[in-house]
Structure 1
Amino acid sequence: FLKPNTAVIGPDAPVVLPPWSREVHYEGELAVVIKSLAKDVDAADAARVILGYTVANDVSARDRQGEEATWVRAKAFDTSCPLGPWIEIPEPGSDDGFDPARAVIRTRVDGAVVQEGTTADMITPVPELIALVSRIFTLLPGDVILTGTPAGVGEIRAGQRVEVGVEGIGRFSNPVVRR
């Protein structure tokens, strides 16, 4: 699935629940921001196309995801991709910075921890994910790849606030509304 530009919002912007869904879930994730044109990148060379990392909430209309052959409507609706709070840019040649292979991802709803896991448990590590995606389509500067969510996804409702954080990067939150 792909998320259009209209899905992206920043910290504190409201996640607007779509009127055609009654079951929308949070999915805290690590996101990778691409810095240069990337096509058919080998996993061993993936670092050269990474600008940095940020935090994402892959908001998903779970009822539609289960009912429809493709996940386009379930994953691509407006406001379904909160990102932030900034891009953590690794310093070239430094081992002291953010490690995308060992970061804790934590999601809170109304202050209560509802999801916690580590990127060490990801099905596909970041370099392999970039290699896979870049074989399907060309990545452009500014493209963002969401890397997958730990166990514990769950429903959100209007009036709640969802906070997603990745240790070593930061965290942000968004109110949830229905219009």
Structure 2
Amino acid sequence: MKRARIAHEGRALWVEVVEDGEVLRLPDGGSVKAADAVWLPPVTPGATIFALGLNYADHNKELGFQSKEPPLVFLKGPNTLSGHNGTTLRPTDANQMHPECELVAVIGKPARSVSVVRALDHVSGYTIACDYAVREYLENYYRPNARVKNRDGATPLGPWVMDAADIADPQALALRTTVNGKTVQDGSTADMVMSVAGLISYLSATMTLMPGDLILTGTPQGVYYCEAGDRIVCEIEGIGRLSNRLVGDKAA
């Protein structure tokens, strides 16, 4: 099952996605066409958002780093998120702004010091993130500062959450990013340095993961700089396609 979060008649609602993503079924039994929906990030308010850097072997090689564990972990604020079919501001001085397609694990039940073997039992579903980075703002690969990874609306999320039961193996999913139809990222979750289960075990050894918490698991190789007006689509096999458009300062 797919679950999305939309704005409808002044309220934020969780809805069921049916008919191959064309229709959104409301809690009261009514429906809205997906094309007419105002999509919100499919996240529970108050959730902790974990993000990973340098967690794909091919991307690490691309950047000149050796893959290693433990991974680079940082947190993101709630204002960084935006919904499917939304827009993201491209600052005028961001000549090296590029999209990063990421598998996102959604925690479904509390996890504290869980083993790798049992870790996926704590996942309720998966979604997609497009975690934009601005290379000019990067001070240190091991310290992603707020200007790079905590910009308002610079992490589109969605379009929906796919139930974990519908994803047989989160380490065998193809990821792809296109810019105006051109493929700029083409990878697989099999290339993760630390698996989804490994990340949950690692993070839960430090703090309790709670229902609704999100883990952005990193991105494969493919650094492509985008311009205002570009349409970016991040796609993950078995989950869906997340669309976003970059706009310039004056258009935001």
Tell me the TM-score normalised to structure 1 length: 0.89
Shift of 1:80: 1.9
Q: Relative to 1, partners in 2 of residues 1:20 and 1:35: Cα closer, same or farther, differing over 3 Å? A: farther
* Structure 2 portions without partners, runs of 5+: 1-73
Q: String of CA shifts for 1:48-95, please: whole Å, max 9, x gaps.
A: 21011111111112221245873131111111211111111133xxxx
**Paired residue for 1:85, among 156, 159, 162?**
159
CA spacing shift, 1:122–1:110, aligned 2, 3 Å: same
Deviation by residue 1:10-53 (Cα, 9 ceiling, x = unmatched): 11110112466442211111110111222222111112210111
- CA distance in 1 between partners of 2:91 and 2:213 (Å): 24
Structure 1 residue 48 corresponds to structure 2 residue 121: yes
Deviates more, 1:68-77 or 1:113-122: 68-77
Q: Distance in 2 between matches of 1:69 and 1:19?
A: 25
Q: 1:19 to 1:26 in 2, by over 3 A?
A: same
- Decide which moves more: 125-134 or 37-46: 37-46
2:57 aligns with: none
How far does residue 98 in structure 1 lie from its aligned partner after superposition? 4.0
1:156 to 216, 220, 226: 226
How many matched pairs?
175
**Aligned ranges for residues 4-23 of structure 1 at < 5 Å?**
4-18=77-91, 21-23=94-96
Stretches of structure 1 that go unaligned for 5 or more consecutive residues are: none
Asked whether the equivalents of residues 3 and 81 of structure 1 are also in contact (C-alpha less than 8 Å), the reply is: no
| Counterparts in 2 of 1:59 and 1:46: CA distance versus 1, 3 Å | same
* SS of structure 2 residue aligned to 1:114: strand
Measured in 2, the distance between the counterparts of 1:66 and 1:72 equals 7
Larger Cα-atom Rg: 2
Aligned: 1:108 with 2:182: no
**Which position in structure 2 is the counterpart of 1:147?**
217
- The answer to which of 47-56 and 59-68 deviates more is 59-68
User: What residue identity is the alignment partner of 2:191?
Assistant: D
* 1:58 aligned partner: 131
Could you say if the C-alpha distance between residues 7 and 159 of structure 1 is closer, same or farther in structure 2, counting changes exceeding 3 Å? same
Are the counterparts in 2 of residues 88 and 98 from structure 1 also a CA contact under 8 Å?
no
**Structure of greater relative contact order (alpha carbons < 8 Å, 6+ residues apart):** 1
CA distance in 1, matches of 2:244, 2:194: 27
Amino acid at match of 2:157: L
Q: Distance in 2 between matches of 1:7 and 1:62?
A: 17
The 8 Å contact of residues 81 and 155 in structure 2, kept in 1 or not, is answered as: yes
| Change over 3 Å in CA distance of 1:129–1:12 after alignment to 2 | same
SS of the residue 1:154 aligns to: coil
Label 1:129 to 1:172 Cα distance change in 2 as closer, same or farther (>3 A): same
Give the distance between the partners of 1:161 and 1:81, measured in 2 at CA: 14
Q: Answer whether contact 1:104 1:117 (CA < 8 A) is retained.
A: yes
Partner deviation per Cα, 1:110-143 (whole Å, 9 max, x = no partner) = 1111110111111111100111122233322211
Secondary structure of 2:76's aligned partner: coil
Closer, same or farther in 2 for the Cα pair 1:137/1:61, shift >3 Å? farther
Structure 1 segments, 4+ long, off by >3 Å, are 18-22, 66-69
Report the Cα distance in structure 1 between the residues aligned to 2:93 and 2:75, rounded to whole angstroms.
19
